[in-house]
Structure 1
Amino acid sequence: MTATITDLATCVDPDGRDDAIAILTRQAASRVPELVPVRNSRMAATPFTFFRGAAAVMAADLAAVPHSGVMTQLCGDAHLSNFGLFNTPERRMIFDLNDFDETAPGPFEWDVKRLAASFTVAGRGNGFDAATTRKHARDVAKSYQKWMMASATMSTMDCWYARIDADDILTKVSTKLDTSTEERTLRGLRKAQHRNSAQAVAKLCVIDADGNVHIRSDPPLLVPIHELFPDARADEVANRVASRVGEYRTMLPDHIRALFDQFSIVDVARKVVGVGSVGTRAWIVLLHGARSDDPLFLQMKEAQRSVLADHVPAQQYANQGQRVVEGQRLLQAASDVFLGWTSGLDENDEKRDLYVRQLRDGKGSVVIEALNPDDMKLYAKLCGRALAHAHARTGSRLEIADYLGSAKGFADAIADFSVAYADIDDNDHAAMLDAIRSGRLETHDLV
């Protein structure tokens, strides 16, 4: 059913929706079994960590209520922790979306609702009162609407190249920040600027007695490939990973392939990443250039079907990694030059699709728990703007703008939805804790 703007406030009926724990259990079936308890522990920590990991749950809930009918390419998991800083190929630091595992076409407001609701859930976790958390959700929607409406007055190429520079963030908001907030922001930017392959080596690697660099062991979060399997089997799996790297290399543009060919594989390990992604296969590959102090760290992450796939028109990609990469290239203002995809057999001889990117390239994100209400307001406006820029890069920007201009009340409708959905998330989190206590879900506490 096509929704009017005021209809966007409609939230799913808590008594008639799919069981959240059942959805998560079905998701777990395709994941590495020994890592599923780690995922459960991470999700169970707070209502916000549950929200982060429950993109599939929210996708089912969004599909159960009326929507705008205005379709665009979605991030699919646009919560506030999936925005951050990273370097462009020109070495400019920008702020943008930085996670596209669930990207697919869908109603534009699904991204806005997930983003706004994440601010409500996170704000509650930070102890903000109800009026403040609702206002932050409203700020997201107002900022999104403002910048999306502005995109309708811009040229197609200007929309394509629009980006949020880190320097621009500081220039525009510094007058609104108190000294402590500005200092925190500057520290965050400096930290992100130094997150690169060399920094990753310092954090993730050890040097043996012969001076050779290896990925360190920190099970179950970081496990070198030769610790995961017996020697002969480890060599076989390592060769499979190398074959995937070789296949990935063939799809790179010629000039990037010439760059990539200056590196060779040194070591491979399995790494646990994120919250919702825990349990999907994720390999990190250490490569060296001509010198041992010339590292490149790549991440090869499994791409499964988008959580939106059961609720939106199908995308015609044979490889789910390609789906992620093409969605990222469309929505993100500037993407990693090493972004690509591959596939191959896993340790159980099952075909897995993967996408490839640099493990660290200036990437940095906000510590949500450290934000006070004023910080959160600024961040809400920033994320709303970045999401609008992403959607404006698609061919749907004029249709979205027309819809947003058709009636008043968009920001209030999104805010009302966010408050109602935060209540649902609280109940789902409580249900997960009950499932853990009853033994229905197993946990692995890493603390």
Structure 2
Amino acid sequence: MTNISPSPDRAQRRAAGKRLRDAVPRESHADWYPAENRDSLAVLRANDSGRLLELIPLRHERMRANPFAFLRGAAAVMAADLAGVPVPGIPVQACGDCHIGNFGVYRSAEGQTLFDINDFDETLWNVDFTIDVKRLAASVAVAALPQGEDRAHRAARASVRAYREHMRDLSHLSPLAIWHSRIDLDHEIGRLGDGDLCRRLLSDAASETADGLSYGDAPDLDPASFGADPSLWRIADKAPTVFHEGPNGLTEAVQEAAAALLAYPQSLQADRNLLALRYMQRDVAFKVVGIGSVGTVCAVGLYTDADGAPLFLQIKEARPSVLAQLALSPFFLACEGQRVIDGQRIMQAASDMFLGTAYSDASGRSYYVRQLKNKKLSAVAEIMSESGPKAYAQLCGTTLARAHARSGDAAMIAGYLGKGDAFDEAVAEFAMRYAWQTMADHDALKQAYQEPAEAA
């Protein structure tokens, strides 16, 4: 047997993380000021490149709704703002779009009600852990600002503190124990400091009806087609967000997605390929989702087995991550769809067994596929107003720490963060600065849409 030199132990790695404070002091994370030539709308326009032109107005309309909606759609803007900001250099699999609207409740295959990150379109390996922490804290601050600046600051700080404290707890565990850790709401009531919040989240978890058709984010079926013969079932059109046919190439996008879905089972491992092939594609419709994804090709496929048991699969275009400019070192990605599903499997406690990829030779688009079943928690403002922003922020911070510890060195991160609140305070101050900048960016987008009308 070949002798392998042991890697540094937990204490040595924690000490190495602590030494990183010399190069990048924890207090320095408060330092962020917009660049002199900063133009958030120019970044947005650049990020719109390659999207379906017919849907870009809808994307901007959704972003104009409020500052938090703007932040949700502006992952590219924040990535550009963080480019060049000093980081300690501890790599993790980053979520990339780590705002509080991308956390939610779902049920695992074993029936556990879990709270976790739910969106991985921008996920990327080899990104410093502070990037996700700052976006999370900034999103907390933006969402909580309507309740007062002081409350927003305390909530942002609470999210970072929860991250730091849970990372410290995880740093004492083995890699396998970290991998199996999860935020199981059935067992977390009270421990996270707000039993009412956990109960509310549990009540919002998606549940299936006896016929299996209550699927949360899944589209409705056309009543005229929903009869005894499942081969005739069709998805109901609900323009402008769910449709089979659209102008200027959108119909072709639906057809491309349907063809990619037919090829997708080839990307699955043998047992899951066998399971997927037990279902037959009955219908595919375009589905506009979220804010950041509007303008990309996204569709939902309706499948049934021979006896009419339904299955919904979502196929989404995978574009290059906005975090590419923030990677600690460059690396080659063969497939953007693979990047997304790899990131989800690494970060999420219990990933979807139907995760797979597809590719279109005609358009060059890369896709990923997942099951569309569990309801994503989207009423963030309502949750935060009823339970308080601090409690929800703590839950998200704890969850992000668990996700980062699966790929990153928990001991080194904990060593950098330390026992005190220096990092918490610094990132909270950054979050408030970024929240006010987001308010200004949101106003700029609204003004940009008002000017042509005024000029006319």
TM-score normalised per structure 2: 0.87
Q: Would you say the 8 A contact 1:10–1:66 is kept in 2?
A: no
1:339 to 2:351 alignment: no
Aligned counterpart in structure 1 of residue 263 of structure 2, from 242, 247, 269: 247
User: In 2, Cα distance between the equivalents of 1:146 and 1:183?
Assistant: 23
Correspondence for 2:13: none
- What's 2:395 paired with? 382
Greater shift, 98-107 or 36-45, is seen at 98-107
1:265 is aligned to 2:278: no
Residues 406 and 384 (structure 1), Cα distance of their counterparts in 2 relative to 1, 3 Å cut: closer
Match in the other structure for 2:113:
93
Shift of 1:315: 3.9
Cα distance in 2 for partners of 1:269, 1:209 equals: 15
Deviation at 1:93, TM superposition (A): 1.7
Write the deviation string for residues 130-170 of structure 1: whole angstroms up to 9, x where unpaired.
11110001100100000111111111111001001120233
Question: 2:372 maps to what in 1?
Answer: 359
* Letter matched to residue 435 of structure 1: A
Residue number in structure 2 paired with 1:112: 133
The answer to whether the aligner puts 1:137 opposite 2:153 as a matched pair is no
What is the 5 A alignment of 1:316-327? 316-327=332-343
Aligned position for 1:413: 426
Q: How far did 1:368 drift? A: 2.2
Q: Identify the match of residue 47 of structure 1 among 54, 64, 67.
A: 67
In 2, Cα distance between the equivalents of 1:255 and 1:148?
35
Q: Determine whether 1:397 maps to 2:397.
A: no
Q: State how far apart, in whole Å, the 1-side matches of 2:235 and 2:387 are.
A: 41
1:58 to 73, 78, 84: 78
Structure 1 distance, partners of 2:338, 2:298, is 16
For 1:215, the equivalent position in structure 2 comes to 235
Which secondary structure does the structure 1 equivalent of 2:234 belong to?
A: strand
- Select 2:144's aligned residue among 111, 114, 123: 123
Q: Note the C-alpha offset of 1:68.
A: 1.9
Aligned partner of residue 213 in structure 2, secondary structure: helix
CA distance in 2, matches of 1:30, 1:397: 38
Distance 2:121 2:184 in 1: 24
2:321 counterpart of 1:300 = no
1:199 aligns with 2:214: yes
Q: Which residue of 2 aligns with 1:444?
A: none
Counterpart code for 1:108: F
Number of matched pairs? 424
2:291 matched to which residue of 1? 275
Aligned-pair Cα RMSD in Å: 2.6
Cα offset, 1:415, TM superposition: 0.6
Shift of 1:373: 7.2
SS of the residue 1:399 aligns to: helix
Q: Which runs of 5+ in 2 are unaligned?
A: 1-21
Q: Contact (CA 8 Å) 1:72, 1:394: kept in 2 or not?
A: yes
Asked whether the 8 Å contact 1:87–1:362 carries over to 2, the reply is no
Q: Deviations over 1:363-396 (max 9, x none)?
A: 4444324422753211111101100000110142
Query: CA shift at 1:401, angstroms?
Result: 1.4
Residues 410 and 136 (structure 1 numbering): CA distance in 2 closer, same or farther, change over 3 Å? same
| CA deviation vs aligned residue, 1:396-437 (integer Å, no higher than 9, x gap) | 222211211287501000110001111110111111011111
Q: Following the alignment from structure 1 to structure 2, what is the Cα–Cα distance between the partners of residues 377 and 35?
A: 35
> Deviation digits for residues 178-221 of structure 1, max 9, x if unmatched?
6xx676445323xx234996114985211326833211111221
Q: Secondary structure at the match of 1:317?
A: coil
What amino acid is the match of 2:135?
A: R
Task: Pick the aligned partner of 2:438 from 412, 425, 436.
Answer: 425
Q: Is the 8 A contact 1:5 1:408 kept in 2?
A: no
Structure 1 distance, partners of 2:385, 2:214, is: 29
What is the CA distance between 1:106 and its match in structure 2?
1.1
How has the CA–CA distance of structure 1 residues 209 and 37 changed in structure 2, closer, same or farther, with 3 Å as cutoff? closer
Q: What residue in structure 2 maps to residue 146 of structure 1?
A: 165
Asked whether the 8 Å contact 2:208–2:215 carries over to 1, the reply is no
Residues 207/176 of structure 1: CA separation in 2 closer, same or farther (3 Å cut): closer
CA-CA distance at 1:237 after TM superposition:
6.4
After superposition, the Cα gap between the structure-2 partners of 1:83 and 1:242, relative to the gap in structure 1 and judged at 3 Å, is same
Alpha-carbon separation, structure 2, partners of 1:230 and 1:322: 29
Q: Deviations over 1:41-97 (max 9, x none)?
A: 000110110011100000011113222222211101110010011122223221111
In the superposition, the TM-score normalised over structure 1's length comes to 0.88
Q: Distance in 2 between matches of 1:250 and 1:356?
A: 12
Q: 2:325 aligns with which of 307, 310, 315?
A: 310
Is contact 2:91–2:408 with CA below 8 Å preserved after alignment? Answer: no
C-alpha distance in 1 between matches for 2:57 and 2:138: 26
For 1:351, the aligned partner's letter is: G
Is the Cα–Cα contact under 8 Å of residues 253 and 297 in structure 2 kept in the other structure? no
